[in-house]
Amino acid sequence: ETGVTQSPTHLIKTRGQQVTLRCSSQSGHNTVSWYQQALGQGPQFIFQYYREEENGRGNFPPRFSGLQFPNYSSELNVNALELDDSALYLCASSLAPTGGRSGNTIYFGEGSWLTVV
């Protein structure tokens, strides 16, 4: 158990719809990162939030957006869903931003499985 919790665990959406995924970080962790993991591939970085602001973004379009709240929990929002958005969405938390000197380890939740039909 990493202390990172995600909801929902599974959901099915229709192409064109919008989805919100939620994440509670490990106690004491102020940084949350989101990753997309397609079947048979490694996780791909979407973005990172630190102290309620975006602190780095991967190669994902603007319809992928996020929020971080004062308690460090976070949301991932995806608009205009496409079939290729079907994947496992992973949230990870760390004590400080990944890019910091200390190389903070990121701990993952169990993920939210999104299927777009």
Partner 1 sequence: GESVGLHLPTLSVQEGDNSIINCAYSNSASDYFIWYKQESGKGPQFIIDIRSNMDKRQGQRVTVLLNKTVKHLSLQIAATQPGDSAVYFCAERDNNDMRFGAGTRLTVKP
* Beta carbon of residue 102, minimum distance to partner 1 (angstroms, whole number): 9
Our CB check for partner 1 shows the closer of 92 and 116 to be 92
- Smallest separation (angstroms) from partner 1 to the CB of 16: 27
Q: What type of residue sits at position 75?
A: E
Residues 32 and 53: beta-carbon distance below 8 Å: no
Q: How far is the CB of 109 from partner 1 (least distance, A)?
A: 5
**16 or 48: whose CB is closer to partner 1?**
48
Provide the residue type at 55 as one letter: N
| Per-residue tokens: 106 | 């990121």
Q: Which is nearer to partner 1, 12 or 80 (CB)?
A: 12
What region does 111 belong to: left with phi over 0, alpha with psi -120 to 50, or beta? Answer: left
Return residues touching partner 1 (CB under 8 A).
2, 4, 33, 35, 39-45, 48, 55-56, 58, 90, 97-99, 103, 105-111
Q: Which is nearer to partner 1, 4 or 116 (CB)?
A: 4
Q: 73 is written with which tokens?
A: 């929990």
Amino acid at 4: V
How far is Cα 42 from Cα 90, in angstroms, rounded to an integer?
11
